Amino acid sequence: MYSEALVQLSLEALGCTQKDLALRLSVSATQISKWKKGEHLSFEMEEKLRKISGVGDRNPEFIIWSGSRENANKWERLIHSLAEMARLSDETGYSAEPLMDDNGLLCWNIFDTLREMGVKIPNEFPIELDVHWDSEDEADDFWEVVHSNQYSSAIYNIFKAFTDVYGFYVAYVADLINDDMELFDSPAENIEPCLMSLAATKVEIASELAPNFKAFKYKIERDYEEWLGLVKARAFRVGAPLRAELLDLVRGGHDGLGHIAEAESLGLNSSRIHPDIYINELLVGMRIIHQVLPAIMRKLGMEDEFKLDDNEFNIH
């Protein structure tokens, strides 16, 4: 993982050629070329390259996307500040834990999402954002700058949408997946890791900044319709009740999702199964029976002698 980025940063740190790096690692120059093309690194070799490049536990791709280690430090500080503000203003009642960045993936995740939308990360960190805001009196100035910069504004808006999307996910989807090994081994396992991308589809972003946004939105929504369809089908098979229409996670605006999650966290939503949740599955089942049963009866030669007794359906 990250083999290409680690090799690039190691070459930059040493100021050497691929051949020199190969000698230092006791591998062939051909192997270095393979790593630069994305071939898998062993854990031992990854550790060596992390030490040589000086990235430590940080994500090497994020550093490269930032343009430099210095830029990466500044972006990291800003991203964590925006994530914390979004998390503190979350009203769903469910803590958006990924924004706390305990696993160290948040910066990479948001940059990866922006890049998928076609956003070009600037080579230099925006100078207007390169300010330390230490006092409460400067808070208003900080937010004015954040909202006026297209990059920081987009990041914050995605984080805000993420708190609502994540709240709905925890309230209605997570439990259906967490204890089901069949879903763990299916594409449905992508639902939680890709929530940042789903949140991004619910934010208005200028086409000049994100030229690939429409294609990105279409792909993410189609993927989630498939993944959530697997969860619904599995729930139907095992008799697990659905307390909301899971596809609302795709179709609903983030504000609406946040309000639904908040009502659930406060115990205001009905605990009964929503009446429309299984109606499509029931209709599909009835249509299958309508098509299959006549074929079975013909196969058994019963189509002429079978008569339906309506009295059997009466409730006494």
**Domain boundaries of the chain, sorted by first residue:** 3-57, 66-265, 279-313
Q: What is the mean pLDDT of residues 33-44?
A: 91
pLDDT category at 213 given cuts 50, 70, 90 is very high
pLDDT surpassing 70 at residue 135: no
Confidence class for position 164, pLDDT limits 50, 70, 90:
very high
User: Is the torsion defined by CA of 154, 160, 162, 168 positive or negative?
Assistant: negative
Please report where in the chains the tokens 């993982």 appear, as a residue: 1
Q: Residue 127 is encoded by which pair of tokens?
A: 């100078």
Q: Which pLDDT value is given to residue 272?
A: 47
Other CB atoms closer than 10 Å to residue 26's CB: what's the count? Answer: 8
The residue with tokens 């000086």 is 54
> What whole-number distance in Å separates Cα of residue 72 and Cα of residue 5?
14
**Averaged over 164-176, what is the pLDDT?**
96
Over 70: is that where the pLDDT of 211 sits? yes
**Residue 44's pLDDT band (cuts 50, 70, 90):** very high
More confident residue, 59 or 289: 59
Residue type, 21: L
pLDDT, average across residues 56-84: 94
**pLDDT for residue 222 is more than 90:** yes
Average pLDDT for residues 228-234, to the nearest whole number?
94
Q: How confident is the model over 59-87, as a mean pLDDT? A: 94
Tokens of 265: 């966290």
Distances (CA, A) of 99 to 1, 83, 150, 315: 23, 5, 20, 55
Q: 123 burial class (0-12, 13-18, 19+ CB within 10 angstroms)?
A: exposed
Instruction: Give the angle 121-126-128 at the CA atoms, nearest 5°.
Output: 155
CB-CB contact of 88 with 72 (8 Å): no
Region of 267 on the Ramachandran plot (φ > 0 left; ψ -120 to 50 alpha; else beta): left
Minimum mean pLDDT range among 63-67, 165-169, 256-260, 298-302: 298-302
Q: Could you tell me the CA-to-CA distances from 219 to 119, 169, 216, 222, 250 in Å, in that order?
A: 17, 19, 5, 5, 12
Provide mean pLDDT across the span 99-115: 95
